[in-house]
Structure 1
Amino acid sequence: MKKAKYSRWFIIAIIGMTGGMSFELPYLKYNYQVPMESLMGLSATQVGFIMSVYGTAAMVLYAPSGVVADKFSHKKLITFSMVITGGLAFLMALYPPYWMLLVIQVLLAITTVLFMWSATVKAVAILGTAEEQGSLLGFAEGMRGFGALVTAFLTLWMFQLFGAESNPNSLKAVMVTYGIFYIVFGILCWFVVPEESKAARAALPKSEKLAAKDILVVLKKRTTWYCSLIIMGVYTIFAVLSYTTSYLIDIFAMPVVMATFIGMIRNQVFRTIAGPVGALVSAKTRLKSPTKIIFIGSIVTFIGLICIIVIPASASIIFVMIGLVLLLAFFNYVSRGMYFATIGEAGTPSSTMGTTIGVASLIGFLPDVFIYPLIGHWQDTLVATQAYRNMWILGLVATGMALLFCTLLMRDIKQKKQAIMASLETL
C-alpha cells in the first residue's frame, strides 16, 4: 500500500465513522418511525415494508460486495458511495411518493452494501498485518458506532430546532443534514484514505470460486444451523427493540423528541460501547466463550421480556420500562458483537469459514425480510397494547430459540473437546 499521509488510527476512525453513519438513512425508522408516519403520510405497515425492501436487497448484495471491493479501488468506492447516498438523502427530503421511497431503499442498498460494505472492511484490513486485524477492525467497529452516534444526535437537534412533529419541514431537515454529512465525509475519505498500490493488489490472495458442493458441505453441518439460528434469535431481538421509540410514544405518551432521544441511546450509544465491552469480557476474563456470553445475555433478555409482558403499563413505571429496554439493548449489542465468533468457536475450518459466514448471514438475517411488515401490520390493525404485547412475545420466542441453540452448540463444543482429550490420552 502507498505510504499514508496520516496516522492509520486517524484513517481508520474516518473510515469507521463514514461506514457507521451511512446506514442511518436507510434505517431512519429506528429513530423516526412516528414522524415518518405523521409527517410523510405513511402507515406503520408501509414503514415496515420500506425496511423490509432494504433488508432484502442488502442480503442479496452482501456477498457480491466482496467481489466489487476486490476489483475496484476501495477509496473511489467509498467516496462515490457516500456522495450518491447524500444525493439520495436530498431526494428523500422531498417526501416523494411511496413507490419512490421503495426505489430509494433499493438504491441505498446498492450504495451502502454493494459498493461500500466490503470496501470499508478492506480499507481498514490492509492498514495492518494479519496479527493486527482484531484490534484494527475492533477499533473501526467502535468508530462506526461513534459516527452513527454523532450524526444521530445532531439530526435530533435539527429535528427539534425545526419544531419536531409540529413542523412538516423538521424531518426534511433531518434528511438534508444526513445528506450534507455523507457528502462531506465522502470527500474527506478521498483526501484521507490512502490508495492501494498495484503491487499490494497483486499480492492479495485470490478468492476461490464458490461451488454448490461447498455450500452443501456447510449446510450438512449441524453447527452451521446452530450458529445461524443463534444469529437469527439475537437479530430478531434487535429488530424488536428498534420499536422502542414508538412503544414509549404509543403506550406511555412520551413526547416524540424525548422518545427519539431514548431510542438513540439504545441504538447508537450502546452500539458504541457494548460490543467492545463484550470483546473485553471475552479476552480478559475467564468467560472466554462467545457462545456462553450470548447464552447469559439471552437469559437476562428472557427475564426482562417476561417483566415487560406481565407488568401492567402505566405512567408511574415509565422509568422502570426505560431501564428494562435499555438493559435489553445493552445485552443485545454485546451478543451481536459475539455471534459471528460462534462460527470459529464451533471449530469451523478456515477452508469453509467464508462460506459458513455467508450461509449464516443469509439465514440469520432473514427477519429483515418479514419482521418489520409484520409488526407494522400489528400496529395498524390492533390496539396499541395488543400490538406491542405480540411484539414482545415474538421477542420472547426468539430469545428462547437463541437459548436452545446456544445450549446445543455448547454441548457440541464440549463433546469435541472431550473427544480431543480422549484421543490425546491414548497416544
Structure 2
Amino acid sequence: MNSKLRKYLTVAALGLAGGAIYFLPYIKYVYYDAQVAAMGISNTQTGILLTMYTIGNMILYIPGGILADKISPKKALVVSLLATAGLCYIYAFTFDYKIALVIWLGLSFSTAFIFWSSLMKAVRIIGTEEEQGFMYGLYYACNGLAGALTQSLSLFAYNTAKDEIVTGFFRAVVTGGTVAVVAAVLLMFLMDSKAGAHTASEGEDSKFKMGDVGKLLKNPIVWIASITIFCAYGIFANTSFFTPYLTEVKGMSASSSGAITIIRSYVLLLLSPVGGLIADKVFKSTAKWLTCALVILAALFAGVLLLPSGMSPTAVSLYTLIPGAFAMMMYGVIFSIMSEAGIPRMMTGTAIGIASIIGYMPDSIYSTMFGSWLDKYGADGYTRIFGFLAASAIVGAILAMYIYIRNKKNQKSASAE
C-alpha cells in the first residue's frame, strides 16, 4: 500500500477508534431515558456512574501516559478497544446497576488509562514535525464524523426494536461495542507495531525513564502548554452555550436553534484539518496560529455583548457560527503544541497525561460555574459567560505567544551552535 495512503487511512482508523470508544461511558447523553428504563435506576444513579468514570480518568491519566511511553501505541490502542468492546457486551447482557458501577470504573482503565495518551502519541508519530497541525486537525475531523457514525448506527439498531425500549437499548449497546471491535481490527492491519516503541538500537538516551516524570512536572513549559490547552478547550467546549442563548435571549425556536447546533457541532468539523493546514502552511507554527485564533475569538465573544438588541435571531445565529468555526479550527490542533513546546517524542504520552488532567478541567469547572450564573442572573448570566470566555481567550493567547517566542529563541540558539 502507498505509504501516504496508509498514513491517511491510519489517521481515519484512529478517528474511528476515538469516536467509538467513548460511546458507552457517555451513553446517557443520547439514551438517557432508555438507560434509566432498562436498568430501573434513578437520575442520581446515572450521574454516579459518570462521576465514577470521570474521577477514575483524572487519577489514571498520568500513570497511563507513563505506560504509553513504554509500549507500542498499536498494542495499547488495540487492547483498549477490545477491552471496551468486552465491557459493552457485558453491560448489554446484564443491565445491573452494581455490575454497571464496576463496568464504568473499568471504562476508566480501557478508555483513559493508556488509550488517550497512546492515541495522541500515535497521531503525533504518524506525521512529520512540519505537518503536526494538519495531522491532529484531520484526526479530530475523523473523530467527530466517526462519533456521529457510531451514534447513527446505534440509533438505527435501537429503532429496529420499535417500542421495546430494553431490547432497543440492548441492540444499541451491542452496536457500539461492535464498532470498537472494527476499529481495533483496522488498527491491527494499518498501524506499524514498531512505531512509537523503544528499541535497543535507539540507545538509552532515547528511552523513557521514570525520572523523566519528575523532569516534566518541574518543567514550566509543560504547565504553560497545559494551561494554554485549558483555555482553548474551555472555549471550544462552551460554544455550546450559544444554543440556550439563542432560545432564551434572542427568542429563536428550539428547532431552529437545534439546527444551528448541528451545523456548529458536526458540519464545522470539516474545518478542523483546515486549522491544521493554516498552522502548518500559513503560520508554520501551532503556537502562532493559536495566538491569532484566540485573539480573534476574544473579539468575537466580546462582539456578542455588543450586538444590537433589535438584531434578528437569524442574523445572531449566523454570527454565532463564526466563533464556532474558529473554535473548531483551533481545537483540532491544540495537542500539537506539545511538539513546539519542545517535549521529546519519547515523553509525549506522559506530557499528554499531565496536559489532559489540566486541559479538560473546564468540563468539571465551567459547567457548574456557568450554570450557577444563569440560575442567579438569568439572561444576564450570558453576559458573564461570554465575557469570561473572551478573557480566557486573551490569557490563552498570551501563553501561546510565549511558547512561540521561546521556540524561536531555542531554534536560533540551536542554529548558532
Q: TM-score, normalised by structure 2?
A: 0.70
Residue 298 to residue 190, structure 1, CA distance change in 2 (3 Å): closer
Residue number among 183, 186, 210 corresponding to 2:184 in the alignment: 186
Deviations 1:289-345 (A, max 9, x none): 43443344334434544565677999x955445434443332222222343444555
Q: Report the counterpart of residue 283 of structure 1 in structure 2.
A: 280
**Superposed, which structure 2 residues align to 1:6-405 within 5 Å?**
7=6, 9-28=8-27, 53-69=52-68, 74-90=73-89, 103-120=102-119, 139-155=138-154, 174-190=172-188, 193=191, 195-196=193-194, 201-203=199-201, 205-210=206-211, 214-215=215-216, 217-218=218-219, 221=220, 223-242=221-240, 254-255=254-255, 263-271=261-269, 273-285=270-282, 287-306=283-302, 319-320=314-315, 322-342=317-337, 345=340, 348=342, 350=344, 354=348, 358-372=353-367, 382=375, 386=378, 390=381, 393-405=384-396
State the one-letter code of the partner of 2:238: V
Q: Report deviation, 1:403.
A: 0.7
Which sits farther off after the overlay, 329-338 or 350-359? 350-359
Deviations 1:209-254 (A, max 9, x none): 2357524531xx3x55543332222222233235666777888552
Deviations 1:258-277 (A, max 9, x none): 87775554334434x23311
State the one-letter code of the partner of 1:274: L
Q: Is the 8 A contact 1:234 1:398 kept in 2?
A: no
Q: Is the 8 A contact 2:15 2:143 kept in 1?
A: yes
Residue 42 to residue 266, structure 1, CA distance change in 2 (3 Å): farther
Residue 391 to residue 96, structure 1, CA distance change in 2 (3 Å): farther
State the one-letter code of the partner of 2:57: A
Distance in structure 1 (CA, Å) of the matches to 2:27 and 2:158: 13
Question: In percent, how many aligned pairs have the same letter?
Answer: 27
Distance in structure 2 (CA, Å) of the matches to 1:317 and 1:95: 51
SS of the equivalent of 1:406 reads: helix
How many residue pairs match? The answer is 406
Which sits farther off after the overlay, 240-249 or 145-154? 240-249
Q: TM-score, normalised by structure 1?
A: 0.69
Distance in structure 2 (CA, Å) of the matches to 1:100 and 1:24: 18
State the one-letter code of the partner of 2:318: G
Q: Is the 8 A contact 1:234 1:336 kept in 2?
A: yes
Deviations 1:40-68 (A, max 9, x none): 8765x877775554344323323333444
Distance in structure 2 (CA, Å) of the matches to 1:155 and 1:168: 14
Distance in structure 1 (CA, Å) of the matches to 2:408 and 2:140: 31
Q: Is the 8 A contact 1:47 1:376 kept in 2?
A: no
Q: Report deviation, 1:146.
A: 3.4
Deviations 1:96-143 (A, max 9, x none): 577766654432221122243344456666768888877766654543
Q: Is the 8 A contact 2:222 2:355 kept in 1?
A: yes
Residue 101 to residue 313, structure 1, CA distance change in 2 (3 Å): farther
Q: Is the 8 A contact 2:243 2:258 kept in 1?
A: yes
Distance in structure 2 (CA, Å) of the matches to 1:128 and 1:304: 32
Q: Report the counterpart of residue 397 of structure 2 in structure 1.
A: 406
Query: Unmatched 5+ residue regions in structure 1?
Result: none
Distance in structure 2 (CA, Å) of the matches to 1:399 and 1:68: 37
RMSD of aligned residue pairs (Cα, Å): 5.2
State the one-letter code of the partner of 2:230: M
Residue 362 to residue 180, structure 1, CA distance change in 2 (3 Å): closer
State the one-letter code of the partner of 1:278: G
Distance in structure 2 (CA, Å) of the matches to 1:334 and 1:168: 39
Deviations 1:161-185 (A, max 9, x none): 7779x96876665444322322333
Distance in structure 2 (CA, Å) of the matches to 1:254 and 1:207: 52
Q: Is the 8 A contact 1:49 1:372 kept in 2?
A: no
Q: Report deviation, 1:158.
A: 5.5
Distance in structure 1 (CA, Å) of the matches to 2:128 and 2:408: 30
Residue 145 to residue 402, structure 1, CA distance change in 2 (3 Å): same
Query: Unmatched 5+ residue regions in structure 2?
Result: none
Distance in structure 2 (CA, Å) of the matches to 1:418 and 1:190: 41
